[in-house]
Amino acid sequence: MKRFDALLALEDGRVFRGKGVGAQSERGGEVVFNTGMTGYQEIFTDPSYSGQIVCLTYPQIGNYGTNSDDNESTRPYFQGLVARELSKIVSNWRSDKSAVDFLAEHDIPIIGEMDTRALVRHIRNEGALRGMISSVDMDPRSLIEKARDLPKMEGLDLASRVTTAKQYEWAQGRGKCSPSDLTPAPDEAKYHVVAYDFGIKHNILRELVQIGSKVTVVPSETSAEEVLALKPSGVFISNGPGDPEPLEAQAKSIRGLVGKTPIFGICLGHQVLAQALGAKTYKLKFGHHGCNHPVRNERTKRVEITSQNHGFAVDPDSLPASDTELTHINLNDQTLEGFRSTKDPLFCVQYHPEAAPGPHDSRYLFDEFRDLMEAQ
């Protein structure tokens, strides 16, 4: 594995040195960290990481390679990878390509042999920062200035950049995703779910099929009238990248669906649905990124270990108090992780119940969506 000098420069002037592997290139974005021990391929291909450089806290990355079945989208969307060590050995019966080769094909830079613990501590203290990875420009001052010239995440509409260009159907269930799992065949397709794509992950679509749904995926700016014309049994609002606040047109469309069809939202979908109901969102200091976040279900008082990837949150005090029930709370920082309407058939969560790989504590939420559609 060829290695070369590389730099990570942050907007506040902090510079980290390491060794690049794979693509010799230069990319910039908001630098965040993910605490998951597994699932790096899911991170690579999650559109919610669009515009971001991801530092992985687990020390060795790449040991089980990558394979085409585990992609969460058609390509990697993040800007670059920061790791302590890139494994020189790939060993897994499902692997068809190394992580380094997979990212190199898409010209995405990797910086390894770096003090990731120091970087994570810095981000936790200072908050998420814009940064540049480069093995091309090795002038720290130049890279710091480039980082400062990058757009801030606040006010940035990235969902419109990653959404599908046209409507399509999805029919694959969970089976292909988990070949080592004793996964049952999907339920008979009794429902028609229209899924808004703000950066949707494939395993969300698999879970919707698994509960017995025909799934139609539509672009993020599809109007309420166009969705209702498809005669949905329910509407799903997906995860996605960037700030939810600029998505005014999308929130208006969702507002036009409230009370007319069951609605289930995840992550950015949770935030846009909140905005459709008149609520406000705000940016977290360094976000929630990982597959080990504890969330308490306020209805059952049970704690779920969840997979999360978001940099913004909903202000619970801005939700309509008279007909909103707060259903899930993050036990690390007490932020809102889910709510449902007591008036209309809708609910949403901030985290990812479809996690693959990841904890399955919250998979029941897809069953609750099915029950909501069944009741209509």
CA distance 102 to 114: 21
Q: In this predicted structure, what is the pLDDT of residue 187?
A: 79
Q: In this predicted structure, what is the pLDDT of residue 176?
A: 54
Start-to-end Cα distance in the chain: 57
Identify whether 267 is a catalytic site residue.
yes
Report pTM: 0.95
pLDDT along the chain (376 residues), means of 10: 95 98 96 95 96 97 94 96 95 94 97 97 97 97 98 96 97 68 78 98 96 97 98 98 97 98 98 98 97 96 97 98 97 98 98 91 97 94
Domains of the chain as residue ranges with CATH: 3-149 (3.50.30.20), 159-374 (3.40.50.880)
CA distance 315 to 283: 10
For residue 60, what are its two tokens? 């060795």
Based on the number of CB atoms within 10 Å of its own CB, is 43 exposed (0-12), middle (13-18) or buried (19 or more)?
A: buried
Q: In this predicted structure, what is the pLDDT of residue 179?
A: 52
Q: In this predicted structure, what is the pLDDT of residue 182?
A: 62
In sequence order, the β-bridge partners of residue 336 are 329
Identify the H or E element spanning 271.
helix 268-276
Identify whether 352 is a catalytic site residue.
yes
Q: In this predicted structure, what is the pLDDT of residue 184?
A: 79
Q: What is the DSSP string of 193-254?
A: EEEEESS--HHHHHHHHHTTEEEEEEETT--HHHHHHT--SEEEE---SS-STT-HHHHHHH
Judge contact between 238 and 277, C-beta under 8 A: no
Q: In this predicted structure, what is the pLDDT of residue 188?
A: 86
Of 55, 177, 267, 291, which is the active-site residue? 267
Of 11, 207, 337, 354, which is the active-site residue? 354
Judge contact between 72 and 136, C-beta under 8 A: no
DSSP code of residue 152? P
DSSP code of residue 76? -
Identify whether 177 is a catalytic site residue.
no
